[in-house]
Amino acid sequence: MINTVFDILTIRKDFPILNRKVNGEALVYLDNAATSQTPKMVIDAIVDYYSRYNSNIHRGVHSLSQEATEMYEEARLKIQKHFNASKSHEIIFTPGTTYGINLVANGFSALLNKGDEIIVSALEHHSNIVPWQMLCERTGAVLKVIPMDLDGKLVMDEYHNLLNPKTKLVFCNHVSNALGTINPIKEIITAAHKVGAAVLIDGAQAAPHIKADVQQLDADFYVVSGHKMCGPTGVGILYGKEEWLNKLPPYQGGGEMIAEVTFEKTTYADLPHKFEAGTPNISGGIAFGAALDYMNTIGFDAIAQYEDELLKYATDQLLTIEGLKIYGTSSEKTAVVSFNIEGIHPYDIGSILDKLGIAVRTGHHCAQPIMDFYKIPGTVRASFSFYNTKEEIDVLVAGVKRAKAMLT
């Protein structure tokens, strides 16, 4: 029996958008890996900010500014607690995962020499490949890739072979957005540290499902986006160990990140402000904190258990369709099903599903190297969240069957 873990109907009431119709049909939102939907209490946090205490932070002596600062810093503390960072100034607010990765890549420009090596996994999002290529061009460092196997798992023996004293950085996502594979990041981090390399984990896809403990993982950097975990777009965080954040130069110059400015020299503010130049997304940061409150109230164990049930049900039901192939078959995966039907372009399936009110993603999912590996142009990707239901999966399966009938 599904829906045993929590009261799904009550949860669905928290998400106003789930009531809407698309093309005359009830919305079935299965594109959660691209962005998650927003519960009312998070929307309310944004409305509350603009209705009651909209003001710039850290600068004003007036009451509104103090209230806004307090709420923003309280959100930072919630995020610190959630990821179990040892210090609140190790949490840097960013516009999102992409920005966090670029911040670190830019910072390492100053720390790398020609011939140093950077390792990335074959399961990366484009946002996790391009910055490293740019970094290699700037510094003369060399990019190495951990290969993947047909199940969509990293070939860990190859990883261990790649590591050597020239390895300075390792970058890997915690969960692949294209296939849902959960990568063995603890093993990746431990091995990298043995050769003295730093590790940045892209947690964008993991954070909505798995509560990462950055101290237990011993991650040097961990990045996430608020909008993938019930928060608003345009806000995320970079967690960095204090010693690393002190070593990296600032990314952007501007207000908030300076201690003292003269035309001869500027000294930088302490962490976290050194990396938070300019007016941040204040309401976004506060709403991100509210999103974590919301998800923690439901509980990440309950979320993971329920989503696992959805994944199993969706996998079993989809595989009853003849000619349907699922990509990403690791036993360790989140609720993502990437698939194709023989002889049909994924885009055509996605278009027909949209007419039926079903939102899925089609294409390369910003992970073209993975598609090249399987020699396919892309996939149809259905990604589930804790507010999805088994009934919605039935609608998806019926829709895919209909699309197949229309297209063959």
Residues designated catalytic: 366
Query: Candidates 96-104, 263-271, 289-297, 336-344 — which segment interacts with ligand PLP by CB under 6 A?
Result: 96-104
Q: State which residue, 280 or 399, has the beta carbon closest to ligand PLP.
A: 280
HSE of 148 in the Cβ direction (CA atoms, 13 Å)? 28
Total of residues contacting ligand PLP (CB under 6 A)? 13
User: Contact at 8 Å (CB) between 53 and 68?
Assistant: yes
Does 177 help bind ligand PLP (rule: CB under 6 A)? yes
Among 32, 38, 80, 97, binds ligand PLP (CB under 6 A): 97
Does 96 help bind ligand PLP (rule: CB under 6 A)? yes
Closest approach, Cβ 192 to ligand PLP, in A, equals 19
How far apart, in whole angstroms, are the C-alpha atoms of residue 7 and residue 12?
9
Q: How far from each other are the two terminal CA atoms of the chain, in whole angstroms? A: 35
Query: Candidates 85-93, 197-205, 272-280, 369-377 — which segment interacts with ligand PLP by CB under 6 A?
Result: 197-205
How far apart, in whole angstroms, are the C-alpha atoms of residue 241 and residue 221?
7
Query: Candidates 67-75, 90-98, 284-292, 320-328 — which segment interacts with ligand PLP by CB under 6 A?
Result: 90-98
Does 173 help bind ligand PLP (rule: CB under 6 A)? yes
- Tell me which residue has tokens 């019926």: 398
Secondary structure letter of residue 51 according to DSSP: I
Provide the strand spans (E) within 151-307.
167-173, 198-202, 221-225, 236-240, 258-261, 266-268
Q: State which residue, 285 or 399, has the beta carbon closest to ligand PLP.
A: 285
Query: Candidates 201-209, 297-305, 314-322, 392-400 — which segment interacts with ligand PLP by CB under 6 A?
Result: 201-209
Among 32, 36, 80, 98, binds ligand PLP (CB under 6 A): 98
Q: State which residue, 116 or 124, has the beta carbon closest to ligand PLP.
A: 124
How far apart, in whole angstroms, are the C-alpha atoms of residue 408 and residue 406?
6
Among 106, 121, 205, 338, binds ligand PLP (CB under 6 A): 205
Closest approach, Cβ 94 to ligand PLP, in A, equals 9
Q: State which residue, 284 or 399, has the beta carbon closest to ligand PLP.
A: 284
At residue 175, the 3 state secondary structure works out as strand
Q: State which residue, 225 or 340, has the beta carbon closest to ligand PLP.
A: 225
How far apart, in whole angstroms, are the C-alpha atoms of residue 94 and residue 272?
11
Site string for ligand PLP, 238-277 (x = CB under 6 A): ----------------------------------------
Instruction: Tell me how far CA of residue 107 lies from CA of 169, 235, 348, in angstroms.
Output: 12, 20, 42
Closest approach, Cβ 355 to ligand PLP, in A, equals 26
Does 225 help bind ligand PLP (rule: CB under 6 A)? yes
Closest approach, Cβ 173 to ligand PLP, in A, equals 4
Q: State which residue, 203 or 399, has the beta carbon closest to ligand PLP.
A: 203
Torsion angle defined by CA atoms of residues 154, 160, 166 and 170, in that order, rounded to the nearest 10 degrees? 30
How far apart, in whole angstroms, are the C-alpha atoms of residue 368 and residue 364?
5
Strands 336-341 and 379-383: antiparallel
User: Contact at 8 Å (CB) between 252 and 228?
Assistant: no
For the record, the structure tokens of 198 come out as: 């730093």
| Other beta carbons within 10 Å of 86 | 10
Describe the strand order of the beta sheet including 324-327 as a list of residue ranges: 324-327, 336-341, 379-383, 361-363
Site for ligand PLP in 101-160 (CB under 6 A): 125, 127-128
The type of residue at 319 is: L
Among 117, 202, 256, 392, binds ligand PLP (CB under 6 A): 202
Closest approach, Cβ 100 to ligand PLP, in A, equals 8
Strands 221-225 and 379-383: unpaired
- Tell me which residue has tokens 């829906």: 3
Closest approach, Cβ 194 to ligand PLP, in A, equals 25
Closest approach, Cβ 103 to ligand PLP, in A, equals 12
The type of residue at 270 is: D
Q: State which residue, 144 or 209, has the beta carbon closest to ligand PLP.
A: 209
Residues that bind ligand PLP (CB under 6 A): 96-98, 125, 127-128, 173, 177, 202, 204-205, 225, 228
